[in-house]
Structure 1
Amino acid sequence: MPAGGYFGRALVVDVADSGATSAPLPLDDAVLRAYLGGVGLGTWLLHRLGRAGADPLGADAPLAFVFSPLVGTPLTTSAKFAVVAKSPLTGLLTDALASSRFAIAGKLTGNDAIVVRGRAAELSVLLVDGDGARLEPAPELTGLPAARTEDAVRERFGRGWQTAAIGPAGERGVRYATISHDGRHAGRGGLGAVLGAKNIKAVLVRSATRVDVADQAAVLAAAKDLRARSFGPATAKYRELGTLANLLAFNAVSTLPTRNFTEVTFEGAPRLAAEELHELRGVARNSCASCSIGCEHIYSRKGGGSQRMEYENVFALGPLCGVSDPDDVFAASARCDELGLDTISAGGTVAWAMECAERGLIDAPWLRFGDGPALLRALDMIGSREPGLGELLAQGSRRAAEVVGGGSIDFAPQVKGMELPGYEPRTLQAMALGLAVNARGADHNRSGAYEADLSGEHDRLNGGAAQVVAAIGTEDRAAVMDSMILCKFLRGVFDDPFTEWAALLRPVTGWDVDADELRATARRIVLAKRVFNQREGATAADDTLPRRMLETPLRLGSGRVAALTADRLGAMVAGYYAQRGLDERGRASREAEGALLLEGHTTENSPHGT
């Protein structure tokens, strides 16, 4: 019998057959305890099922929907799942998390993960329930946004199914296309393009069973306690104004990336701020499935309708592109949702193109910073992969810069091919390290080192040993939260995170897990991601930032200057390698790799307590 919270198997589905063939992959307790679920288990699955050097958009490339031991319990924010694959944007491991009823229904198909391989003969939907998997042709869904796809399949197959779908950008192979469900998105890294390359428009799941926990009474008590704590001051910002509250705060401390990272404050920030929009346009608050926080804030749109807005989509489609009109930013965000585009990569790629146009490197004189209609036009060109500029920008800023040349790679806002989120590395130098070394590329969710920068405990303009420790700590905590899975907005609720997370896992699984074991689990997951990327050709040279960040200081006013040199970043990266037990090339020892349980294992080499 598997541990509580698990079924002990992944369902591997090959959609190359017109009827879809599937087979269970047993997952023993050693693997489940070593990687937990979510991002951790997804990393293990990609190692085991993904061929080294495979084309991310090839038929044999696996894409895994991965659940966790907490899904289906009453623990707040636990209705989340991970999607894990090799990224068509970076060529490396990528994962994205999302919250929705899809997570609960997917887990209750009786599987800890659903892995999709192959390519269907025509555009189809994949249905998975207690009877296994089947494929249904669905050419009538071609070109539909994800939300309309969900409506169409619900009408065709019934309301008992939960749906994760792609939009037109995923069908057309845009390298940063998303997978969407319930109006939320597994956004980063181009997972929608991977699903689209398999000719799968949507995956539908339906509950068929229940999952047992080891101690139901203890789980209920823990859920009651966690729910009460989730209403406390640690989550007040998210309840009251949502993540958009960061916009004015970041502008005030000169860390709001503006006009493709050429400036750190934006004169139009007040027009886009949560405080302003809440007063003038706020219409509703909403929550993810099984969540007590309610961070979603819904705003009215010009001409009718509403739009969910968060810091990252406003940053990327607003200040980063120099656009200050809220109606233009709202419209651009809605357009990304309709097309199925990651807003951070879309905004970053368009901002790079705007700078290229202003420098005369690309022939698009209409594409200028601050021009909202031009932003919308560019997004439409990307979503349709219009020949010329649309096709170029659909590749992401790194690949586009390699085509355009002219030194444009120096200001392409990306790490490992993934566009940077809304945190200026030169004024947040712990975050600079986190962005540089992260396995997914430029990322704020797998490395939340900005927390240390903004804590007031470190000099955020002078990265060094303290920033290395802080970056590792946030990366480790993220690895566990993303694998259990719990929402990051709960992180401030936990005073002693690893101890408290272990206390949540014990009554669910029945394991005698403790804080030390979870710390080891975090290190294992982080290392397994790095080993996967090295298998795919990543080297220490990839653990860096764009030259603009390392060669162009920022003037902050009052005579202050923010500078991050290559030598300073290099010293922090070297410190990171040393503390991670890596060699000077950023590689793990054979012994350390052997302990990851990636090449087969027995109960004798169980990682418990390591």
Structure 2
Amino acid sequence: MTAGGYFGRALVVDVAATSAKGSALELPEPVLRAYLGGVGLGTWLLHRLAPPGVDPLAPEAPLAFVFSPLVGTPLTTSAKFAVLAKSPLTGLLTDALASSQFAIAGKLTGHDAIVVRGRAAQLSVLLVDADGVRLEPAPELAGMPAADAESAVRERFGRGWRTAAIGSAGERGVRYATISHDGRHAGRGGLGAVLGAKNVKAVLVRSGARVDVADSPAVLAAAKDLRQRSFGPATAKYRELGTLANLLAFNAVSTLPTRNFTAATFAEAPRLAAEELHEMRGVARNSCASCSIGCEHIYSRKGGGSQRMEYENVFALGPLCGVSDPDDVFAASARCDELGLDTISAGGTIAWAMECVERGLIDEPWLRFGDGPALLRALDLIGTRAPGLGELLSLGSRAAAEVVGHGSIDFAPQVKGLELPGYEPRSLQSMALGLAVNARGADHNRSGAYEADLSGDLDRLSGGPAHVAAAIGTEDRAAVMDSMILCKFLRGVFAEPFEEWAQLLRPVTGWEVTADELRAAARRIVLAKRVFNMREGATAADDALPRRMLDTPLELGSGRTATLTAERLRSMVTGYYADRGLDAEGRPDPADLAGLLLDA
């Protein structure tokens, strides 16, 4: 009998067949218990289904939509799903999380995951429900923004279907294209390009099955308690101003990356701050599906319409590119939504190109820091992969730097090919380690070590053993939250996270889950990601930061500087390896591999 919250099977769909063929992959209970769901289970599936060395855009490369045991329960923030593939941007494992009704409908097709392989003969949509799968040609959707494609398929197939779709960037293979649904995005690593390479414009799912929990009254009681706690002070910032509240706070402590990480403060940050925008332009607040927090803040746009704004898209399209006009930043964010582009990678790649222009390495004199219309023009070139600059920047900053040469890789703002988020590593040195070692690359959601840096408990300007422990702790907690799946904005609600998460899983699954079991699951998931990347060619040399972060002191004002040397970072990486039970090259002990259940 399958544990509560699970169906015990994944659906593997081959879209190369004219009508699409689906087959069931049984998911043994030991695997479900070891990897939980979401990112953890998706990592296990990629090990099983991705041929070693596969080209991320090849037909045989799998793309997995993965659900969790909590999806469909009344637990707040549980309507989330993970998307995993080998990234065309990094060549390594990538995963992205998103919240929407797609998660609930996708799971209630009767599967814990839906995996797509093959390449359709023409642009098509894939439909999955409890009755099976089918592929429908949809050439009329070519070039449409994801939101327009969602509307079109809803009109064609009915309102009961939930849709995840790509924009023109995904169709054209931009390496950081997104998958979108209900105005939200599975954003990082180029998952939209992977779906586009399969000639699939959209995946439609429709509820038709039922999944039971082990103890429904206990789940309802846990949901009521968690909902009440979600209204507390730990989430107040997100309700009141959203993530954009970070902008002025980070600017004040010199950790707001500006002009391609040449500075960490932006003089015109107040023009883009949540406090200013909320007063002048705030029009609405919204929530994700099955969420009681309500972190989404909607602002009015010049000329009409509105736009959802968050810290990361404002940072990447604003200070990082030197752009301070909120209308330009709003327009750029909207353009990324229309094209289906990851805002962090788009902003980081354009900021790198702007610096290349300043240095005379790229002959596009119109592309200048601080020029909003130039930013918009560059986004259009990228989204269509226009010959020349558009094609170059569609590769991401690392691959583009390899083309341009002349040492431009030293200031390309990336780790393992993934562009850095809005946290300055030199002034947040726990975060510096987290960014360097993370399997996905430079990422703030899989390694939220900035929490430790900003807590006041550590010297954020001088990394050492305590910073190693902090980075490992946040990485482990993220691994469990991303696999159960729960929103990171709840993290401050849990006083004893692993024990409290175990208390949520017990009535859903019927397992006698313990805190120590979840700690072991976290370590297993982190290790399984590393093992996948090693299989695909990653080495210890990839656990690093751009040379700019290690060679150039950061000015903090008042004569102060922050310095992160290569030696200090390497010392922290070595400590991380030791604490993770890895050898000096970041490789696991062969005895530890058996616990990953990769042959199950």
TM-score by length of 1: 0.98
After superposition, where does 1:44-83 map in structure 2 within 5 Å? Answer: 44-83=44-83
Q: Which amino acid aligns with 2:413?
A: P
Shift in Å, 1:558: 2.0
Q: Please tell me whether residue 596 in structure 1 is matched to residue 572 in structure 2.
A: no
Deviation (angstroms), 1:215: 0.1
Secondary structure in structure 2 of the residue aligned to 1:163 = strand
For the residue of structure 2 that corresponds to 1:119, the secondary structure is coil
Which amino acid in the other structure matches residue 405 of structure 1? G
Q: How far has the Cα of 1:395 moved from its partner?
A: 0.2
> Could you tell me which residue of structure 2 aligns to residue 604 of structure 1?
none
The aligned counterpart of 1:182 is 182
Which residue is 1:102 aligned to?
A: 102
AA paired with 1:493? Answer: V
CA distance in 1, matches of 2:275, 2:458: 28
Tell me the residue number matched to 1:164.
164
What residue number does 1:210 align with? 210
| Correspondence for 1:475 | 475
The question of 1:436 aligning with 2:436 is answered: yes
Instruction: Supply the distance in 2 between the matched residues of 1:268 and 1:148 (Cα, whole angstroms).
Output: 35
Q: Distance in 2 between matches of 1:503 and 1:55?
A: 41
1:18 is aligned to 2:21: no
Match in the other structure for 1:606: none
Is 1:410–2:415 an aligned residue pair?
no
Which residue in the other structure is 2:197 paired with?
A: 197
How far, CA to CA, are the matches of 2:555 and 2:260 in structure 1? 16
Kindly report which structure 2 residues correspond to 1:171-570, keeping only aligned pairs within 5 A, or say none: 171-570=171-570
Deviation, 1:599, is 1.6
Structure 1 residue matching 2:84: 3-state secondary structure: strand
The CA distance in 1 between the partners of 2:124 and 2:541, in whole Å, is 41
| Superposed displacement of residue 559, structure 1 | 2.2
In structure 2, C-alpha distance between the alignment counterparts of 1:599 and 1:380, rounded to whole Å: 45
**Runs of 5+ in structure 1 lacking a partner?**
601-610
Residue 256 of structure 1 and its aligned partner are, at CA, apart by: 0.1
Aligned partner of 1:594: which letter?
A: A
CA distance in 1 between counterparts of 2:268 and 2:142 reads: 39
Give unpaired runs (5+ residues) of structure 2.
Answer: none
Quick one: distance in 1 between partners of 2:526 and 2:555? 35
Give the aligned partner of residue 141 of structure 1: 141
Q: In structure 1, how many angstroms separate the alpha carbons of the residues matched to 2:42 and 2:479?
A: 12
What are the Cα deviations for residues 480-517 of structure 1, in whole angstroms up to 9, with x where unaligned? 00000000000000000000000000000000001000
- SS for the counterpart of 1:426 is helix
Kindly, what percent of the aligned residue pairs are identical? Answer: 85
AA aligned to 2:45 is L
Distance in 1 (alpha carbons) for counterparts of 2:296 and 2:418: 25
For the residue of structure 2 that corresponds to 1:83, the secondary structure is strand
Q: Which residue number corresponds to residue 116 of structure 1? A: 116
User: SS of the counterpart of 2:596?
Assistant: coil
Q: Name the CA distance, whole Å, in 1 between partners of 2:133 and 2:417.
A: 34
Tell me the distance in 1 between the aligned counterparts of 2:368 and 2:463. Answer: 34
Question: What is residue 608 of structure 1 aligned with on the other side?
Answer: none
TM-score with structure 2 setting the length: 1.00
Does structure 1 residue 150 correspond to structure 2 residue 160?
Answer: no
* Counterpart code for 1:214: A
Q: What is the CA–CA distance in structure 2 between the aligned matches of 1:91 and 1:555, rounded to whole Å?
A: 34
Runs of 4+ more than 3 Å apart: none
Q: Which one is further off, 587-596 or 471-480?
A: 587-596
C-alpha distance in structure 2 between counterparts of 1:41 and 1:23, whole Å: 18
SS in 1 for 2:13: strand
Query: What letter corresponds to residue 374 of structure 2 in structure 1?
Result: A
| Structure 2: distance between partners of 1:28 and 1:577 | 31
Task: Work out the CA distance in 2 between the residues paired with 1:397 and 1:559.
Answer: 32
Deviation at 1:132, TM superposition (A): 1.2
Cα root mean square deviation, aligned: 0.3
Distance in 2, Cα, partners of 1:364 & 1:33: 54
Partner of 2:265: helix, strand, or coil? coil
Offset at 1:403?
Answer: 0.2
Name the CA distance, whole Å, in 2 between partners of 1:354 and 1:393: 11
After superposition, what is the alpha-carbon deviation per residue over 1:508-542, rounded to whole angstroms, capped at 9, x for unaligned?
Answer: 00000010000000000000000000000000000
Q: Does 1:91 align with 2:91?
A: yes
How far did 1:155 drift?
0.1
Measure the CA separation in 1 of the matches of 2:84 and 2:403.
28
Whole-Å separation in 1 of the counterparts to 2:181 and 2:343: 16
How far residue 595 of structure 1 moved from its aligned partner, in angstroms, is 1.3
Q: Which residue type is aligned with residue 66 of structure 1? A: V
Q: Distance in 2 between matches of 1:558 and 1:143?
A: 51
> Equivalent residue of 2:504, what SS?
helix
1:561 CA drift (Å): 1.1
Aligned AA for 1:500?
E
Distance 2:579 2:132 in 1: 45
- Name the count of aligned residue pairs: 600
CA distance in 2, matches of 1:369, 1:210: 53
In 1, Cα distance between the equivalents of 2:522 and 2:562? 32
Q: Distance in 1 between matches of 2:557 and 2:65?
A: 47
One-letter amino acid matched to 2:550: L
**Secondary structure of the corresponding residue to residue 136 of structure 1:** strand
Aligned-partner SS, 2:133: strand
Secondary structure of the equivalent of 2:519?
helix
Name the aligned partner's letter for residue 329 of structure 1.
V
Q: Deviation digits for residues 83-134 of structure 1, max 9, x if unmatched?
A: 0000000000000000000000000000000000000000000000001111
Aligned AA for 1:20? A
Alpha-carbon shift at residue 578 of structure 1 (Å):
0.1
Q: State how far apart, in whole Å, the 1-side matches of 2:559 and 2:548 are.
A: 21
1:351-375, CA deviations, whole angstroms, 9 ceiling, x for partnerless residues? 0000000110001000000000000
